[in-house]
């Protein structure tokens, strides 16, 4: 974990270790202080999230309010909202590097 903050539900992360290295995803659950469940709505659906050690993730400062609100209201989030949150993050990251 490179940024000194603790992970939050709805936060966008970049996978730094494993098969999906370099891929962005959204934290959808935090079972304990060492692991989180991530999904991107595309390869990793909400119904089959990936359990990741937070040491293998790079936390970003971006938290998707849409995802947070949806999880608080219904306990679920659509894969479309996850894809939208990830796409918005990728787009803003590309704009910042240009």
Domain CATH number, residue 82: 2.30.30.140
| Residue 79: count of CB within 10 angstroms of its CB | 15
- Alpha-carbon distances, residue 39 vs 4, 36, 92, 95, 97 (angstroms): 22, 10, 19, 23, 25
Give a yes or no: residue 68 inside a domain. Answer: yes
30-83 pLDDT per residue, tens: 999 999 999 999 999 999 999 999 999 999 999 999 999 999 999 999 999 999
Specify the pTM: 0.91
- Tell me which residue range forms the domain holding 57: 11-97
Give a yes or no: residue 5 inside a domain. Answer: no
Give a yes or no: residue 6 inside a domain. Answer: no
Give a yes or no: residue 1 inside a domain. Answer: no
Number of domains, the chain = 1
The pLDDT of residue 93 is: 83
Give a yes or no: residue 32 inside a domain. Answer: yes
Using the predicted structure, report yes or no on whether residue 1 has a pLDDT greater than 50: no
């Amino acid at each position: 974990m490179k940024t000194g903050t603790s992970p939050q539900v709805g936060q966008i992360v970049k996978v730094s270790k494993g098969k999906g290295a370099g891929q962005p995803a959204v934290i959808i659950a935090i079972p304990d202080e060492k692991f989180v469940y991530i999904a991107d709505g595309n390869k990793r659906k909400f119904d089959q999230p990936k359990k990741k050690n937070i040491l293998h993730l790079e936390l970003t400062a971006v938290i998707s309010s849409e995802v947070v609100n949806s999880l608080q209201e219904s306990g679920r989030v659509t894969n479309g909202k996850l894809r939208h949150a990830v796409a918005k993050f990728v787009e803003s990251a590309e704009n910042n590097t240009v």
